Amino acid sequence: MSTPEKPASNLQKEFLWPLIAPLILIVTYVGFYSRFLFCAKDGGACSPVSAETILGAIKNPSDVAIYVARASWTFAGGLYLLACIVALYTAVLVMNEVFSNFGSKSPWQPILIIMFVALDVALVMSLWASKDISSPAQQLLRATVGQGVPEINKYSRLFDAISLTATLTLACAASAILFQRDSKLEKEELRRRQTLLRYVLYVGGALLAIAVLQLSTRLGWGASYLPAGSGITPSVNSLVTGILNSMGSFYALLMAAVYVPAALVLQSRVKQLAAREAPDDPNTWLTTNGFSLSFSQYLPRIVALLGPMLAGPIGELLIRTSKAISGTIL
C-alpha cells in the first residue's frame, strides 16, 4: 500500500503552519480578551477588586512575607530572562542550521529580519496590552509593589515582550524546520529535522513554564502585602489563581499550536518516505529506522506541552513553601 506523493507546491505551503496556528490562537485570545476582559474604557468597573480597595486593605504588611515574595520574584525573573535568551539562541541555532543546509550564503540576514519582526510584533502586543490599566493583575501590582516600585507594570510588559519575541522566533524556527525546496527529503535529513523540532519543543515548553512561574511569583509578591485576616485577601488570591490557570492553559495551547502542526507535517513526510522506500510494508520500515515512537519517547513531549499548565500550581506551591520555611526559620 503506497501513499500518493504530494506535489512540491503543496509541501512548500505546509511550512507556514507552525506560524499560522499560534497566530490564529493569539488573535482568538486577543479577540476574546478585548471583548470580555479589556476594561480601560469603563474606568475599571469590570475588575472585581480595585487598586484603591486593595491599598485600603493594606495595614501593617508583613515585612518577612514581602521579602520572601520579592526574593522568589527576583529568582524567577532571572530564570525567566535566562530562558528567553536560551530560547532565542536555540531558535537562531535551528534557523542557522536549516538555512545553511539550503546553501544560503548569508543565513544571518533572514534570521535577523525574522528576529526583529518578532520583536516588533511582541512590542506592539505589549503596547496594546498596556492600555488595559484596570486589569486585576495590573491593579494588584499598582496598589502593592507599585507603591515602592512605580515601574513594576512597565517591567512586566518588557519581560512579556521579550518572552513573546522568543516564542515567536521559536515558531519561526519550527516553520524553518519544515521548509524545503525539493519534495523529497532523505531519511537522515528528516531525522535531523525531527531532532531540531524536539529542541524547539523542549526549549519553548520550558520557556513558557518559567513564564507562568514568573507570573506566579510576580502576583504572589503583590498578594504578599495583604494581611491574611483581611476580607479582601481570599478574593485577590482567587483572582491570582484564575489568572495563572488561564495563562498556563493559553501558553500550553500556544506551545501545542507551534509543535503539533510541525510534528504532524514531519510525520507525514516520514510516512511518504516509508511508502517510497518500502511500499509493501512501510510500518516495518518505520520501526526498523527508528521513526516509530514508544510511550516513553512520547512522555517527555507531553510533559513539555503541559509544562506551562502545571507551572502555575507549582509556583503557588513554591511560594507557600517559601512562606512556611521563612515562618520557621525567621
* Site of interaction with other proteins (CB under 8 A): 51-53, 55-56, 106, 109, 112-113, 116-117, 119-120, 123-124, 126-127, 130, 133, 139, 142-143, 146, 150-151, 153-154, 157-158, 161
Tell me which amino acid residue 286 is: L
The smaller minimum CB distance to other proteins, of residues 115 and 196, is found at 115
CA distances from 54 to 217, 218, 242, 244 (A): 18, 16, 17, 19
The smaller minimum CB distance to other proteins, of residues 55 and 306, is found at 55
The smaller minimum CB distance to other proteins, of residues 55 and 71, is found at 55
User: Cβ neighbours of residue 286 under 8 Å, at least 6 residues apart?
Assistant: 270, 271, 274, 292
Cβ neighbours around 293 below 10 Å, total = 13
Q: How far is the CB of 148 from other proteins (least distance, A)?
A: 13
The smaller minimum CB distance to other proteins, of residues 12 and 130, is found at 130
User: Cβ neighbours of residue 15 under 8 Å, at least 6 residues apart?
Assistant: 175, 176, 178, 179, 180, 265
Q: How far is the CB of 154 from other proteins (least distance, A)?
A: 6
Q: How far is the CB of 51 from other proteins (least distance, A)?
A: 4
Q: How far is the CB of 54 from other proteins (least distance, A)?
A: 8
CB of 278 within 8 A of CB of 176? no
The smaller minimum CB distance to other proteins, of residues 162 and 319, is found at 162
The smaller minimum CB distance to other proteins, of residues 113 and 317, is found at 113
Q: Which residue bears the cell 510534528? A: 263
Q: How far is the CB of 176 from other proteins (least distance, A)?
A: 17
Q: What whole-number distance in Å separates Cα of residue 120 and Cα of residue 117? A: 5
Q: What whole-number distance in Å separates Cα of residue 224 and Cα of residue 238? A: 14
Q: What whole-number distance in Å separates Cα of residue 330 and Cα of residue 328? A: 6
Name the nearest CA neighbour of 219 among 149, 131, 140, 153: 140
Q: How far is the CB of 236 from other proteins (least distance, A)?
A: 15
Q: What whole-number distance in Å separates Cα of residue 95 and Cα of residue 83? A: 18
The smaller minimum CB distance to other proteins, of residues 5 and 120, is found at 120
Q: How far is the CB of 106 from other proteins (least distance, A)?
A: 8
